[in-house]
Amino acid sequence: MKKVLILTLVATLGMSALALAGGGGGDKLHWGYAGETGPEHWGSLAPEFKMCGEGKKQSPINITGAVKGDLPELIFDYDDSDLQLVNNGHTIKAAYSSGSSINVGGDRYQLLQFHFHSKSENAIEGELFPMEAHLVHANAAGELAVVGVMFKEGEANPLLERLWRYTPSKANSTMSAPGSIEVADLLPKSPAYYAFTGSLTTPPCTEGVRWMVLKQPVTVSKEQIAKFRRFFDDHDTNRPVQALNGRTVYK
């Protein structure tokens, strides 16, 4: 197991980003995916959620009309991690050990955590997928980069099999499971991606997030989708797509 020493600064900023992304932000304030605390009300639930209603560069989006952008290669420099799972009532999140990162055209971002949504949040040409994983990274300045991986129904995913087995079914609980995991097991063969700027997809919907959605989906079985959804009483855990407001999507 290779472990890379990272700066305390990165770890510190990483922790705050970790708290923000993937449903961690605003845990003290109640929000949800339906009804009076649903996505269309997030912006008025609390002053700190204002961007959810007023932001002009919000995520997720419908990826369409992408233009050729001469995008830098997305290089995954991922190592293994201890297995630590959180059910925060909004998503299932795996906190990732330090020492894994991506490199995009010389910009390096450390992997903090990954989590899931069902249905997918981003759409591709108007199509939602049954699930989407978000791999949340931060650079030394605390700026976030999220890699989105789409899941289509097909063969079971071995990593999800292990994750769901150890996931606590009760909301707001954490489980440290035996063994280690490799997040690379969630990636498709091709690193080709769509790029755009956006936000966190959960309150406080903070903007300035660098989004990269992989073009090639991976598979998940029907049973695995159903099992994820059962953690949330079969409710959707995806924010609806947001207006592009003049943003360009690159491919």
Active site residue ranges: 90
Q: Which of 90, 134, 137, 239 binds Zn ion (CB under 5 A)?
A: 134
Tell whether residue 239 is a contact of Zn ion (CB under 5 A). no
Question: Nearest residue by C-beta to Zn ion?
Answer: 134
- Given the rule CB under 5 A, which of 129-137, 167-175, 188-196, 203-211 is the region that contacts Zn ion? 129-137
Q: What minimum distance in Å lies between the beta carbon of 160 and Zn ion?
A: 16
- Given the rule CB under 5 A, which of 30-38, 97-105, 130-138, 161-169 is the region that contacts Zn ion? 130-138
- Total residues contacting Zn ion (rule CB under 5 A)? 1
Is there a contact between 203 and 39 (Cβ–Cβ < 8 Å)?
A: no
Q: What minimum distance in Å lies between the beta carbon of 55 and Zn ion?
A: 16
Select 79 or 121, whichever has its Cβ closest to Zn ion. 121
Distances (CA, A) of 80 to 38, 182, 233: 36, 5, 31
Which helix (H) or strand (E) element contains residue 108? strand 107-117
Q: What minimum distance in Å lies between the beta carbon of 134 and Zn ion?
A: 3
- Given the rule CB under 5 A, which of 2-10, 47-55, 127-135, 169-177 is the region that contacts Zn ion? 127-135
Burial of 229 (0-12, 13-18, 19+ CB in 10 A): middle
Angle at 211 between CA 215 and CA 222, to 5 degrees: 50
Residues 53-82 that bind Zn ion (CB under 5 A): none
Q: How far apart are CA 33 and CA 27, in angstroms?
A: 14
Select 134 or 137, whichever has its Cβ closest to Zn ion. 134
Select 4 or 171, whichever has its Cβ closest to Zn ion. 171
- Given the rule CB under 5 A, which of 9-17, 69-77, 126-134, 239-247 is the region that contacts Zn ion? 126-134
| Closest alpha carbon to 238 in 115, 136, 121, 91 | 121
Report phi then psi at 50, rounded to 5.
-50, -40
Select 134 or 227, whichever has its Cβ closest to Zn ion. 134
Q: How far apart are CA 28 and CA 41, in angstroms?
A: 16
Is there a contact between 202 and 88 (Cβ–Cβ < 8 Å)?
A: no
Select 22 or 43, whichever has its Cβ closest to Zn ion. 22
Q: What minimum distance in Å lies between the beta carbon of 144 and Zn ion?
A: 11
CA dihedral 241, 242, 245, 249 (to 10 degrees): -40
Q: What minimum distance in Å lies between the beta carbon of 2 and Zn ion?
A: 27
Q: How far apart are CA 135 and CA 143, in angstroms?
A: 14
Per CB under 5 A, residues contacting Zn ion are 134
